Amino acid sequence: MIDAAARAVKPPPMTSNRTFGERVMRLVDDLARHTDGPGLTRLYLSPAHRATAEAVRGLMEAAGMSAGIDAVGNVAGRFGPADGPVLLIGSHIDSVVDAGPFDGPLGVVAGLVAIEALGREGVPLPFAIELLAFGDEENVRFPTNLSTSYAVAGRYDPAWLEGRDADGVSLRDALRAFGTDPEGATALGRDPGQAIGYLEVHIEQGPVLEAENLPVGVVSGIVGISRARCHVTGEAGHAGTVPMTMRRDALAAAAEMIGAVERIGARRSDTVATVGVARPQPGAVNVIPARVDFTIDARTPDDVVRAAMMTDIAAECRAIAERRGVAFGLESTMESPATPMDPGLTAALEAAMAASGLPPRRLVSGAGHDAVAMATLCPAAMLFVRCLKGISHNPAESITAEDADMAVRVLVEAIKGIARSRQGS
């Protein structure tokens, strides 16, 4: 079926797919001008977020979509019929403090440029496309995490509205100031019977694609995350007068534990484990450390493997503590399950890559994304785009126009492939 609205699209004057990349780069640059301060900082529901949402709505409307800003600040634009099956495409437009321009906006803009191309080509689609620009992915301002994509997935918890930012402003009041009715947040869930899938394009935020000289890769799954705070308690002492055999050095013990965390994290290619924080006390050159607090962050796409990692880490740390006569405590601070990607949509992305002459490459997403929330609504899949040195959450975040071009081409091909498979079924 060919939809009237799709045929009505007035695409920008483009002569070739080769310019997808240039348009993506220009639009990302345009959106990056909306910031709450120097550099790029665009926290959820800030004035810069509002300005960006308005700009995205304008782009959607210019591409022939019916678009609006919803009760939690999402920009939602629909391409194609207002009812019936819908393929969702999205990412986020909020940012961390002092961010790069691509983390989030790339996925929104790639979706927009793909829809522009589909409209320009007049491709018949057996479903509508809804493009979503989420607002609460970076988990910076409020205690919430992915609240805007969970709203679209129909899983908004009204208790989240009571959460407050560092200035004491509640999420409810911030939504009102943004210009929406927060009471509508729980009514945004899409019909799972009509949502045929969710696709998200995102920069990799890691070094794998660059190392393998690949412009894009398909995400096999989004890791689950376990976090813990650990405490090692030994005994302070004079660095000169306590013999090595009589010490209960908390830092020497913690150092051995940090080695164990690293070793367990490196056991498999799809696991990682990190100690990012370590604080020895009292912290003087001539005093044997009495206590060290450190953190653990362990990730893998397999929840059973992740649980085993944390069990092994805790057991090794306890054995080290016992052998050294120090006390060890471990307090879990996060248990976030893994999100596998949908095999059918993932295969559609891989087929689209093959059609563009790219080898298949599946990689794990070590970071969370809106796809985690959307996967609770419908099948979900993600396409990662190579970024310079894996740098993200930093003004140095960078991708090439060529890779952006490839991402849009793969997305367009994947949408066509999904359309063919539904038409064939």
Nearest to 296 by CA among 224, 228, 233, 231: 228
In this chain, which of 15, 16, 213, 245 binds its own copies, going by CB under 8 A? 245
Among 237, 340, 360, 379, binds its own copies (CB under 8 A): 237
Name the β-bridge partners of 331.
229
Task: Pick from 111, 206, 234, 417 the residue near its own copies by CB under 8 A.
Answer: 206
Is the alpha carbon torsion for 406, 137, 99, 278 positive or negative? negative
How many residues touch its own copies under the rule CB under 8 A: the total is 57
Is 223 an interacting residue with respect to its own copies (CB under 8 A)?
A: yes
Q: Does 243 engage in binding with its own copies (CB under 8 A)?
A: yes
Token pair for 412: 């367009």
**Pair 320, 253: CB distance under 8 Å:** yes
**Residue of the chain from 25, 27, 32, 258 that contacts its own copies (CB under 8 A):** 258
405 binds its own copies (CB under 8 A): no
Q: How far is the CB of 38 from its own copies (least distance, A)?
A: 20
Rounded to whole angstroms, how far apart are CA atoms 322 and 95? 44
Please report how close the Cβ of residue 228 comes to its own copies at its closest, in angstroms. Answer: 9
Q: Which long-range contacts (CB under 8 A, 24 or more apart) does 11-15 make?
A: 11/63, 11/116, 11/117, 11/119, 11/120, 12/62, 12/116, 14/116, 14/117, 14/120
> Under the criterion CB under 8 A, does residue 189 sit at the interface with its own copies?
no
DSSP code per residue over 182-200: GGGGGG----TTTEEEEEE
With contacts defined by CB under 8 A, name the span among 124-132, 148-156, 186-194, 203-211 that binds its own copies.
203-211
Q: Residue 287 interacts with its own copies (CB under 8 A)?
A: yes
Name 282's Cβ contacts closer than 8 Å, sequence gap at least 6.
236, 289, 290
- Least Å distance, CB 413 to its own copies, is 26
Structure tokens at 113: 């440029």
d(CA 166, CA 90): 28
Minimum separation from the CB atom of position 374 to its own copies (A): 19
Q: Which of residues 322-381 bind its own copies (CB under 8 A)?
A: 365-368
Among 112, 131, 252, 349, binds its own copies (CB under 8 A): 252
Taken in order 284, 286, 291, 293, the sign of the CA dihedral is: positive
Q: Does 166 bind its own copies (CB under 8 A)?
A: no
Q: Which is nearer to its own copies, 85 or 340 (CB)?
A: 340
From CA 290, how far away is CA 238, in angstroms rounded? 11
Coil, strand or helix: which one is 100? coil
Print the binding letters for residues 137-156 with its own copies: x by CB under 8 A, - otherwise. Answer: --------------------
- Residue selected from 67, 275, 410, 415 as contacting its own copies according to rule CB under 8 A: 275
289 is a site residue for its own copies (CB under 8 A) = yes
Compute the least distance from the CB of residue 176 to its own copies, in Å.
32
Residues that bind its own copies (CB under 8 A): 204-208, 211, 223, 225, 227, 237-246, 249, 251-252, 254-256, 258-259, 262, 265-266, 269, 271-278, 280, 283-289, 295, 297, 299, 365-368, 390, 392-393
